[in-house]
Structure 1
Amino acid sequence: MTLNDRLIIKVPASSANLGPGFDSIGLALNLYLTLEVEKHDKWECRSQCEELKDLPTDESHFICQVAIQTAAHYGIKLSPCKISVDSEIPLARGLGSSAAAIVAGIELADSVGDLGLTRQEKLLLATKWEGHPDNVGASLFGGLVIGCYRQNEVDMLSFRDLPFEMVALIPQDILLTKESREVLPTTYSQGEAIQASSTANLLVAALLSQNWSLAGKMMEKDLFHQPYRKPLIHAYHEMEQLAKSSGAFGVALSGAGPTVICFIEKGKGKQLMHTMQAGFPEMNAMLLSISDTGSNICTAEKFVQ
């Protein structure tokens, strides 16, 4: 990136787990975090978004810190930048806002610092920041991702062109991931682990074979996290019942919640969105589709990734 370049970094939101795929399955969504970047004499990071206006405006901003520390990891002192941030991703609602910020910071470091990172290297860096690969993997690769993180290594596959869409029910109240993790058990019995992992395996097979009813059944049978988190979500069961009676094949918490995400065959989501909005007017019902591209970088109208 030269001094006069204006860089645009666009990173999709994500939904993780899809029920039983705890910390391993993610889905990229068509809500985006967008950075407009130009080199500057000091770090400056600003946003017109109401949710983001109270965040730091200097190098202590989270995205800047990810970028600076990523470059430092490779022995590079990153040149300061002026960054304009725009985000369609609600904060602390289970739609991958922190993962998108991490990916944006790594993409920023790679482009401004000329690091030449591969997408796999970006995935490992992002996973170390986030602690698990589902959200960051979806934001990087796009589509439906299934990943495994162990012993400083991440393996991941991404699948695209899946013919379903989603209706997200987004509440006004936030739910921090830290708080929702505190309700989870620290250990599972061998029997519970076998049942929970087999449910996740079958969910993936059902989605890829487009067996929607089986996919929805597996979403409901999660043992890893939803039984403990559902009580934190007001009217979860009522939302699930209305969605399924209105054509959704599956319902799950989006990540740690509090957003509830309803899955439906492609082309049928608009009516479901209207039904869910009428049934739960205190929430924001949003029709979403899968983002198949992952993070993108654009400079002077030419896509470089």
Structure 2
Amino acid sequence: MHLIRVPCSSANIGPGFDVIGLALSMHLELRVSIDRNAPSTPDNPLNCTVSYSGVGADSIDLNPENNLLTRTALYVLRCHNQHHFPGQTSVHISNPIPLGRGLGSSGAAVVAGVLLGNVVGDLNLSKPRLLDFALMVERHPDNVAAALYGGFVGTYLNELDPQDMARKEVPLSEVLPEPAGGIDTGLTPPIPPENIGHYRRFNWAKEIKALAIIPDFEVSTAKAREVLPKSYSRQDMIFNLQRLALLTTVLSDSPPDPELIYSAMQDKIHQPYRATLIPALPAILSSMSPKTHKGLLGICLSGAGPTILALATENFEAIADVIMARFKDEGISCQWKILEPAEDGATLQEVPGDVETYRIEIGSK
């Protein structure tokens, strides 16, 4: 049996819109077993069954032709001339990551799907190549690179060679055709160019933890993008660039400097516009600082929201209570979690039986 674990992630972290991401210690898990000698059956042509436990269980499609995770795995397999899962493959998904809350649930699912395709197809892809495949499905390198590699990362997408430019924005429908990845045309889907994106890990001070306050409503990434302007003033761009240049360094300082981190986490690119989608956000950002709340270092939207990420060194419950009270004033309930950087990123283990567990480095045998 194979065990795949992929952390959730928080993107943007204040001024780092579409640039920086942080893997956090809440993991999507897959338990995968394969009977390679079992034949295909007419009622299961993809040779795969999916089960699920965790958040949103009532809304998750367990058909392997439709599920994002198994469709992603099929994409990887079909790029390598394997048109279905081997033998009879069973995949159990255990997911604690809230859906549509800005904690990288789709990025984690895509990374898990790429790893699933890699392991069941016996492909032995390197981590950079796994990133290429993930970026063909999920176009947010900050979330995807954080989930795959772990830790606190900066990312960018390459400008591709002219012959590859047509594939830079391959429609998702070509990579994961609708309806269902199970409709097999026999054709090879668009294969990712190499080195679509790059990442760099930054250091993270051991004292800093991430307090996630998770409101009980969803904000779709598409809707959160729609409220953003088509262009920005030079002043606003410089404002964010100045702070981003400091943020990736000051978050590594030990002991942390609360005032400097708080200042470096200010943003004028996405949070002011997304406030219309998250009623409590303006009050939270304007009323909380290291001067007003002991232990607080900085506060921001996690990804597209509505989750609020508060970086802090202590006093976590008191900080969470204040933020939740702001949401309660708007009639919104919340939960909160203390999370730490997930330094290992996505991992693959083999579990012989249910006793011994040993680790396999992804991309090597």
TM-score, structure 1 normalization: 0.90
Amino acid at match of 1:296: T
Q: How many residues align?
A: 298
Amino acid at match of 1:208: S
Cα distance in structure 1, aligned partners of 2:338 and 2:315? 10
In structure 2, the CA distance between the partners of 1:270 and 1:191, relative to structure 1 (3 Å rule), is: closer
Cα distance in structure 1, aligned partners of 2:229 and 2:24? 29
- Find 2:205's aligned residue among 162, 170, 181: 162
CA drift of 1:82 comes to 1.2
Deviates more, 1:208-217 or 1:245-254: 208-217
Cα distance in structure 2, aligned partners of 1:262 and 1:93? 15
Per-residue CA deviations over 1:101-152 (Å, capped at 9, x if unaligned) read 0000011011111111111111222223221210011111111001111224
Amino acid at match of 1:35: L
Name the residue aligned to 1:302: 358
Name the residue aligned to 1:260: 308
Give % identity.
31
Per-residue CA deviations over 1:159-188 (Å, capped at 9, x if unaligned) read 355321021111111110000000011222
- Find 1:123's aligned residue among 128, 131, 149: 131
Cα distance in structure 2, aligned partners of 1:146 and 1:201? 11
- Find 2:269's aligned residue among 224, 227, 244: 224
- Is the helix fraction higher in 1 or 2? 1
Deviates more, 1:39-48 or 1:102-111: 39-48
CA drift of 1:272 comes to 3.2
Name the residue aligned to 1:3: none
CA drift of 1:275 comes to 5.2
Cα distance in structure 2, aligned partners of 1:285 and 1:191? 35
CA drift of 1:277 comes to 4.8
Contact in 2 for aligned 1:270/1:287 (Cα 8 Å): no
Aligned: 1:10 with 2:5: yes
Name the residue aligned to 2:165: none
Contact in 2 for aligned 1:99/1:136 (Cα 8 Å): yes
Aligned: 1:208 with 2:208: no
Per-residue CA deviations over 1:209-266 (Å, capped at 9, x if unaligned) read 344422221222x12211111232121233342565223110000000011111112x
Name the residue aligned to 1:47: 52
CA drift of 1:201 comes to 1.7
2:123 alignment partner, SS class: coil
TM-score, structure 2 normalization: 0.76
- Find 2:73's aligned residue among 67, 79, 90: 67
Contact in 1 for aligned 2:262/2:289 (Cα 8 Å): no
Contact in 1 for aligned 2:55/2:99 (Cα 8 Å): no
Name the residue aligned to 2:163: none
Name the residue aligned to 1:199: 243
CA RMSD of aligned residues (A): 2.0
Map 1:79-94 → 2, pairs under 5 A = 79=86, 81-94=89-102
